[in-house]
């Protein structure tokens, strides 16, 4: 299981493509995974493929245990097998859809990392300002630590400076975490990709939603999809049946409503929706990064700069004045 965590999304996507091509030759899923494992030389990819080749169908149907896998992508791979077993949709198509989604997610992750690199570097530089102030004091011939550690007023200033620095550190980290957002257990867009693949194979949307919801069990968005699938099976229109789907998964409601109203095939609409949503995610990351760079000014002005003054400027001036004119405070 630890080996799986070292697989990148791009590497796993490559494995899935190879398995899908092997399945196209008419072999079973375990045979396809075993063949890919034999042909793979990278240790972690080989280990993952060998593990998948040994998983029995009964275990693949027990998502409760499989969902404890450490990575979102691994859960999605198991979900593909479960969907193949429960709906009869071709595993090769499911794995191909997943590999494309993983590559898009990998591109989005790289874009997010690049977008936030500047803000993270800025935060690190700002956090180092108080230490730089102390070093500056020694460079000027002063001894700021003597002032901070050998008098009551100095200790109070040191405590206040360290407290402001800690608050600034926590504040900036919180801003970075909020800007990055929370990663879902399974990317909703990958779930939509899998639904599109199942629907493309001829399975009704109601069955596709219900089967994925059952496979995910209590892992979001499983319960919402299960409820939506049951509502669709009762004959409720998509607009009402899918009304409780939130976030990126809400795109399923608009796509299904359009297909229901016009008679257009649902799978191509879903593919277009996920493509547009992934592009929108990249734009949202750029916007969040730009806003973060501006918002970092607030903790800088409220905590870091005052800490810089308390730990650097005040001790330097105090030490220089004391050295030349006598002690200022006891």
Predicted local confidence at residue 59, as pLDDT = 53
Q: Is the dihedral of CA 149, 154, 159, 165 positive or negative?
A: negative
Going by C-alpha positions, the residue among 103, 104, 97 that lies closest to residue 79 is 97
Predicted local confidence at residue 96, as pLDDT = 86
Predicted local confidence at residue 193, as pLDDT = 86
Instruction: Cite the DSSP H helix spans in 128-185.
Output: 129-139, 144-149, 152-180
Predicted local confidence at residue 312, as pLDDT = 77
Predicted local confidence at residue 6, as pLDDT = 54
Predicted local confidence at residue 1, as pLDDT = 40
Instruction: Please say whether the beta carbons of 270 and 188 come within 8 A.
Output: no
Predicted local confidence at residue 182, as pLDDT = 62
pTM above 0.95, yes or no: no
Query: Chunked in runs of 10, what are the mean pLDDT values of the chain (330 residues)?
Result: 56 86 85 87 81 65 42 74 80 85 76 70 73 76 78 85 86 79 72 87 88 79 86 88 85 87 88 83 76 79 83 79 59
DSSP state, residue 71: S
Predicted local confidence at residue 326, as pLDDT = 53
Going by C-alpha positions, the residue among 87, 110, 274, 59 that lies closest to residue 199 is 87
């Amino acid at each position: 299981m630890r080996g799986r965590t070292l697989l990148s999304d791009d590497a796993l996507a490559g494995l899935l493509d190879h398995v899908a091509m092997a399945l196209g030759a008419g072999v079973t899923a375990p045979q396809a995974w075993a063949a890919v494992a034999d042909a793979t030389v990278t240790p972690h990819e080989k280990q993952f493929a060998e593990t998948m080749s040994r998983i029995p169908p009964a275990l693949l149907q027990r998502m409760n245990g499989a969902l404890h896998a450490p990575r979102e992508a691994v859960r999605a791979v198991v979900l593909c097998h479960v969907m193949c077993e429960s709906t009869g949709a071709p595993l090769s198509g499911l794995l191909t859809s997943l590999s494309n989604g993983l590559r898009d997610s990998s591109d989005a992750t790289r874009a997010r990392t690049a977008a936030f690199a500047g803000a993270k570097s800025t935060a690190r530089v700002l956090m180092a300002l108080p230490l730089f102030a102390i070093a500056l004091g020694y460079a000027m011939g002063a001894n700021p630590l003597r002032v901070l550690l050998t008098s009551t007023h100095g200790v109070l200033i040191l405590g206040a400076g360290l407290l402001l620095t800690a608050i600034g550190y926590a504040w900036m980290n919180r801003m970075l975490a909020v800007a990055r957002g929370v990663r879902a257990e399974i990317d909703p867009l990958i779930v939509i990709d899998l639904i599109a693949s199942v629907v493309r194979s001829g399975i009704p949307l109601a069955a596709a939603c219900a089967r994925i919801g059952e496979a995910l069990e209590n892992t979001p968005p499983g319960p919402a999809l299960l409820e939506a699938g049951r509502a669709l099976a009762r004959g409720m229109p998509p607009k009402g049946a899918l009304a409780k789907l939130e976030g990126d998964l809400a795109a399923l409601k608009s796509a299904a409503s359009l297909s229901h109203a016009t008679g257009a095939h649902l799978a191509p609409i879903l593919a277009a929706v996920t493509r547009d949503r992934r592009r929108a995610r990249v734009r949202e990351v750029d916007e969040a990064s730009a806003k973060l760079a501006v918002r970092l000014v607030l903790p800088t002005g409220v905590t870091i700069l005052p800490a810089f003054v308390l730990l650097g400027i005040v001790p330097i001036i105090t030490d220089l004045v004391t050295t030349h004119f006598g002690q200022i405070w006891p």
